Amino acid sequence: MNRYVLYLSTAILLMTGCTSEPKKYSESTAPSIYPDFTEITVPSNIASPNFLIEDEAHSYVTVLESGKSKVCIKGRKVLIPLRKWKNLTAQGDISVTIYEKREKGWARMKPFSIYVSDEIDSYLTYRLIPPSFMSFQRLSINQRDLTSFKEKVVYANSMSAADDSRQCINCHNFRNWKTDEMQFHIRLEQGGTVMYRHGKLSKLNHKTDSTISAGVYPSWHPTHNYIAYSTNHTYQRLHSNHSNRVEVFDEYSDLILYDHDNNAVSIIENDSTELECFPYWTPDGKTLFYVSAHIGNPTLFQKLGGVAASTQSIRYNLYSKPFNPDDRSWGKKQLVIRADSMQKSITLPRVSPDGRWMMFTMGSQGVFHIWHKDSELYLMNLENGQYRSIDEINSSDVESYHSWSSTGKWIVFSTRREDGMYTRLYLSHLNDDGTFTKPFPVPQKDPQHSLKFMFSYNIPEFTIEPVKVSARELAAFIRSNDAQPVNYEQKREE
């Protein structure tokens, strides 16, 4: 009997223990790993944060420990098996020790921790796009299961159109982090706004004679069947000698409201002296935040060359506008932050699901901050109106699009911190005191993925469930249906 116990214990030890963990070693400094997953806080359900040890050594052993679980991985590429990783996270914070074998024997690098926190929404939808200027031959909206490394195509522009007439697909958006209601736009070939609502697909053309374009940047109303959109005439110019490379700007822009039940759009804001953009609802649906740049007399402004001639001095302020969702009436707009007086420009206001915080992007000028290296993320406490630069997550390069998880505990944001060109997605946890934990990139199966992948990730949006319509269904629908017109209704003022 004892013999069997011994066998069993040995077997368990072999399975859980680390026979390769060096016994003799010297102590050394902190290891250099890529991506930098040291001292990060991860969601308890996230996929394993595989990494590469950058230090030069003959051989490597990495030991991950949490509670009674211990995982040993040999080699420079630390690929943590998903099941073992889940076992580790189930037991709490993880200690990571890396041993490096050098000329004089093994060295134990300074251990680091990976802290385990709240779960994150399991799905992240984003667009994959090469960081080109105008070409979009290869575009797809993809969905990543954050609890594993599975990624699927939601829709790709190669599915409905031939190579030379590819569509631009953009602005995918979900209602309340669920996928029963989803929308995205298709420009050019077979264009329109594709709406998926409770199993039914439709394609709409929001452009009317009274609006300047179809809907662009969307915000789905949390309680009623409305979507607020900006309408934009967007252009871009080239920097001749600047690392920002491109300047994207709106010559004209307004805000509209689409009422799905009545299939009608109405104007929210179309002040000719202003360029309004990026609407976003508060969780109660009674206030719409948006940004707007003052251009003064529009005729004179256009005579002077319009935005194209003054891209460096166009700055957007933050506004809010009360709304009564029941009768669709609007109150007067209110200035929330006057950024232009600080020589700053605000974009992408997004309110946390509990309505306590608002995150926005602020740079020195312009509306398209993904091309502005000085753009940073800011957090505003909506209870007291105080806001600050989120220094703990900002970098010296671009921070731009950002989204809250459904619990409001996690954020995902796009950044070009790695190489200044390719946009990558980073996650961070919001602490109760309004500070964020050290941001880290969305884990990838191959830790060198980011270094080798030649596409940018943009418009990251969390959902709690996978997209319910297949890419094939979407493609078949898009191919065989023209965009349907919408009606135009007068704005209702309070």
Partner 1 sequence: MNQKKENNKTSLIWYSRLILPVALWVILNLCSADFLLKVEERSHFEFDWFWFTGFLKEPSGLLSWLGLFFTQFLYLPWLGSLLWVLLLTASGELTVKIFKVPGYLSVLAYIPAFIFVVYNMSMGYMVYLMNHPGYFFMPVLGYLWALFTVVIIRKPHNPASSLIITIIIGFAGYYIAGFYALAALITACADSFRSDRSRLSRILILTAAAITIVLSPILMVSTTEYYIGTGWTLGLPDHVHTVPLLRMQGALILAMIVLLLISLLPHGELNGKKYIPIIIQCALLVGIIASTTILWYKDANFKTELRMIRAADNMKWEEVTRILEKASQSQDSDWQPTRVMVMLKDLALIKTGKDGDYAFSFSDGSCEQKRKWDVPMSIQIGHTLGFHYGIPGLCQRWCFETSTILGWKNIIFKYSAMTAILFNNTALSEKFLTKMDNTLFYRKWAKEQRKLVYDRSLMQKTAPYDLVLPLLCHEDRITSDLEGCETFIRRHFTGPSPVHSTPMYDRAALLFAMKSKDPTLFWTRFFLYLDSNNPKSIDRFYQEAAYLFSQQDNSDPLLKALPFDEQTKNLYKSFQNLAQRTGPKDLEEANRIFPANLRHTFFYYYYYVNNLKLF
**Residue 232 CB coordination number (10 Å):** 22
x/- binding map, residues 254-293, to partner 1, per CB under 8 A?
Answer: ----------------------------------------
Q: Cα-flanking dihedrals φ and ψ of residue 475, to 5°?
A: -60, -45
Q: How far is CA 444 from the centre of its chain?
A: 16
Our finding on whether 477 is near partner 1 (CB under 8 A) is no
Distance CA 394, CA 378 (A): 9
* Burial of residue 422 (number of CB atoms within 10 Å: 0-12, 13-18, 19+): middle
Size of residue set near partner 1 by CB under 8 A:
45
- Least Cα distance to 265 among 211, 201, 334 occurs for 211
Our finding on whether 138 is near partner 1 (CB under 8 A) is yes
Token match 């209601």: residue? 181
Min CB(21)–partner 1 separation in Å: 28
Min CB(132)–partner 1 separation in Å: 4
Question: Would you say 223 or 244 has its CB closer to partner 1?
Answer: 244
Question: Would you say 115 or 422 has its CB closer to partner 1?
Answer: 422
Give the β-pairing of 487-489 and 246-259: unpaired
Letter for the amino acid at 8? L
Give the β-pairing of 123-129 and 112-117: unpaired
Q: Cα-flanking dihedrals φ and ψ of residue 223, to 5°?
A: -120, -25
Question: Would you say 160 or 213 has its CB closer to partner 1?
Answer: 160
- With CB under 8 A as the contact rule, which of the stretches 114-122, 196-204, 208-216, 416-424 interacts with partner 1? 416-424
Our finding on whether 70 is near partner 1 (CB under 8 A) is no
Per CB under 8 A, contacts with partner 1 among 429-468 are 446, 448-449, 451-452, 454
- With CB under 8 A as the contact rule, which of the stretches 45-53, 217-225, 239-247, 426-434 interacts with partner 1? 239-247
Min CB(33)–partner 1 separation in Å: 16
Min CB(451)–partner 1 separation in Å: 6
DSSP state letter for 109 = P
Q: In angstroms, how far is the first alpha carbon of the chain from the final one?
A: 84
Our finding on whether 150 is near partner 1 (CB under 8 A) is no
Distance CA 491, CA 288 (A): 15
- With CB under 8 A as the contact rule, which of the stretches 45-53, 75-83, 150-158, 331-339 interacts with partner 1? 150-158
Our finding on whether 132 is near partner 1 (CB under 8 A) is yes
Q: Which two tokens stand for residue 355?
A: 């309505």
Check if the beta carbon of residue 290 is closer than 8 Å to that of residue 340: no
Q: Cα-flanking dihedrals φ and ψ of residue 477, to 5°?
A: -65, -45
Question: Would you say 149 or 488 has its CB closer to partner 1?
Answer: 149
Min CB(238)–partner 1 separation in Å: 5
Question: Would you say 215 or 366 has its CB closer to partner 1?
Answer: 366
* Burial of residue 165 (number of CB atoms within 10 Å: 0-12, 13-18, 19+): exposed
Which one among 135, 297, 343, 381 touches partner 1, defined by CB under 8 A?
A: 135
Min CB(366)–partner 1 separation in Å: 10
- Least Cα distance to 349 among 371, 312, 321 occurs for 321
Min CB(393)–partner 1 separation in Å: 19
- With CB under 8 A as the contact rule, which of the stretches 285-293, 322-330, 333-341, 415-423 interacts with partner 1? 415-423
Which one among 73, 78, 124, 153 touches partner 1, defined by CB under 8 A?
A: 153
DSSP state letter for 241 = S
DSSP state letter for 124 = E
* Burial of residue 299 (number of CB atoms within 10 Å: 0-12, 13-18, 19+): exposed
Per CB under 8 A, contacts with partner 1 among 294-333 are 308, 311-312
Per CB under 8 A, contacts with partner 1 among 157-216 are 158-164
Our finding on whether 421 is near partner 1 (CB under 8 A) is yes
Our finding on whether 245 is near partner 1 (CB under 8 A) is yes
CA distances from 314 to 92, 438, 447 (A): 48, 33, 40
Min CB(156)–partner 1 separation in Å: 4
- Least Cα distance to 462 among 405, 399, 413 occurs for 405
DSSP 168-198: EEEEEEEETTEEEEEEEEEESTT-EEEEEET
Our finding on whether 469 is near partner 1 (CB under 8 A) is no
Question: Would you say 164 or 261 has its CB closer to partner 1?
Answer: 164
Min CB(34)–partner 1 separation in Å: 11
- With CB under 8 A as the contact rule, which of the stretches 182-190, 381-389, 420-428, 480-488 interacts with partner 1? 420-428
- Least Cα distance to 269 among 201, 323, 220 occurs for 323
96 Cβ contact list (under 8 Å, min separation 6): 38, 62, 63, 64, 65, 111, 112, 113, 114
Our finding on whether 375 is near partner 1 (CB under 8 A) is no
Min CB(163)–partner 1 separation in Å: 5
Which one among 22, 111, 131, 325 touches partner 1, defined by CB under 8 A?
A: 131
The site for partner 1 (CB under 8 A) is made up of: 130-138, 140, 153, 156, 158-164, 237-243, 245, 247, 308, 311-312, 418-422, 446, 448-449, 451-452, 454, 471-472, 475
